[in-house]
């Protein structure tokens, strides 16, 4: 049976752990909100660029990003975190990525492009082919930091190394709900970019309405309105399209990483909150055990005193 000193030591260590988990919960909540604000800040540009692409739809024919080259390989971009203590965030993504790899391997040779130390360690332990690694993006990544990922993917696709490219990441739905999703990103589909942009605004929470763009004169914010604008473009619409489309694709990849960052902080916040609640329950149980043990010790001492007194009186 544990002594009073042992129980008191456990109470002190559990209390210290609870303070740490509460601090980590507060930090993760702050980082999650900032990540959402960064994502929302880039949304207006994405909306206008996609709207312009919709009005230049006839120029999409023949662009290499819309064509699937002849190749026997497929690229898989997997986005995880560098750190742990975020519940099932990483395991859900890695499970979906491993399943996708097995499915695609029936027809093509999968080649992994991984973001985050958790994914790197996971696939290397299982001896998968990891062709590129990216780490240390930070909590609030800028487009300049994520552009190497986009350049790597587009360069390999343009050189016909991949027939198609997939991405596995965590979609931020709300503070308490994140979902690991699988999407094909190349050959490019404007509906994919549209879904990414629309998904920047969470379904619930503080930012659920801040990203809503009101429709004006019958036109939706993503360029699917009842009429089309006519632009005067120089040098030519096709030349502008060649520059605009890769930039928009780069923003879409950037938003995927931002979504994953917000999901990571949210998952860690929930995990730390659960850990704090568990610590409170353990503290209650330890306090009760401590009080019982102390009361038992006092009772034992009283019985010894009474027994000694009776023994003296009997003599």
pLDDT recorded at residue 61: 57
pLDDT recorded at residue 15: 93
292 to 120, 250, 285, 287, 313: CA distances (angstroms): 50, 63, 11, 9, 31
pLDDT recorded at residue 259: 85
| Strand 164-174 versus strand 177-186 pairing type | antiparallel
pLDDT recorded at residue 206: 61
pLDDT beneath 70, residues of the chain: 1, 39, 42-43, 45-62, 196-234, 236-237, 240, 315
Q: Where are the domains positioned within the chain?
A: 26-269
User: What's 26-269's CATH class?
Assistant: alpha beta
In whole angstroms, give the CA distance from residue 198 to residue 225: 15
Q: H/E element holding 179?
A: strand 177-186
In whole angstroms, give the CA distance from residue 66 to residue 252: 15
What's the length of the chain? 315
| Strand 177-186 versus strand 109-115 pairing type | unpaired
63 to 4, 67, 88, 216, 250: CA distances (angstroms): 75, 7, 40, 31, 16
pLDDT recorded at residue 50: 65
DSSP 216: B
pLDDT recorded at residue 49: 65
pLDDT recorded at residue 66: 82
Residue 71 main-chain phi, psi, to 5 deg:
-160, 160
In whole angstroms, give the CA distance from residue 218 to residue 74: 41
pLDDT recorded at residue 38: 75
Edge-to-edge strand list for the sheet holding 164-174:
130-134, 109-115, 73-79, 164-174, 177-186
pLDDT recorded at residue 209: 53
Of 213, 254, 221, nearest in space to 52 by CA: 221
In whole angstroms, give the CA distance from residue 90 to residue 118: 7
- On whether the CB atoms of residues 153 and 257 are closer than 8 A, the answer is no
Entry pTM: 0.79
């Amino acid at each position: 049976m544990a002594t009073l000193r042992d129980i008191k030591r456990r109470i002190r260590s559990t209390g210290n752990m609870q303070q740490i988990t509460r601090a980590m919960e507060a930090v993760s909540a702050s980082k999650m909100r900032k990540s959402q604000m960064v994502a929302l800040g880039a949304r207006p540009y994405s909306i206008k660029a996609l709207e312009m692409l919709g009005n230049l739809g006839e120029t999409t024919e023949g662009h290499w990003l819309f064509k699937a080259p002849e190749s026997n390989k497929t690229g898989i971009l997997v986005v995880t975190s560098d750190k742990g203590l975020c519940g099932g965030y990483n395991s859900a993504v890695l499970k979906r990525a491993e399943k996708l790899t097995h499915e695609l391997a029936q027809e093509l040779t999968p080649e992994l492009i991984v973001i985050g130390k958790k994914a790197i360690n996971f696939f290397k332990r299982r001896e998968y082919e990891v062709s590129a690694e990216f780490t240390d993006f930070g909590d609030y990544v800028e487009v300049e930091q994520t552009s190497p990922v986009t350049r790597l993917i587009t360069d390999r696709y343009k050189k016909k190394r991949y027939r198609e490219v997939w991405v596995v990441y965590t979609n931020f739905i709300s503070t308490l709900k994140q979902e690991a999703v699988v999407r094909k990103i190349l050959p490019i589909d404007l509906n994919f970019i549209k879904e990414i942009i629309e998904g920047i605004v969470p379904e619930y929470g503080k930012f659920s309405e801040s990203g809503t763009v009101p429709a004006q004169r019958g036109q939706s914010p993503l360029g699917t309105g009842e009429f089309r604008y006519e632009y005067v473009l120089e040098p030519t619409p096709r030349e502008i399209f060649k520059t605009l489309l890769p930039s928009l694709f780069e923003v879409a990849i950037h938003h995927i990483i931002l979504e994953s960052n917000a999901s990571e902080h949210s998952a860690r916040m929930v995990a730390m909150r659960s850990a704090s609640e568990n610590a409170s329950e353990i503290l209650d149980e330890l306090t009760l055990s401590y009080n019982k043990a102390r009361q038992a010790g006092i009772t034992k001492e009283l019985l010894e005193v009474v027994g000694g007194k009776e023994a003296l009186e009997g003599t």
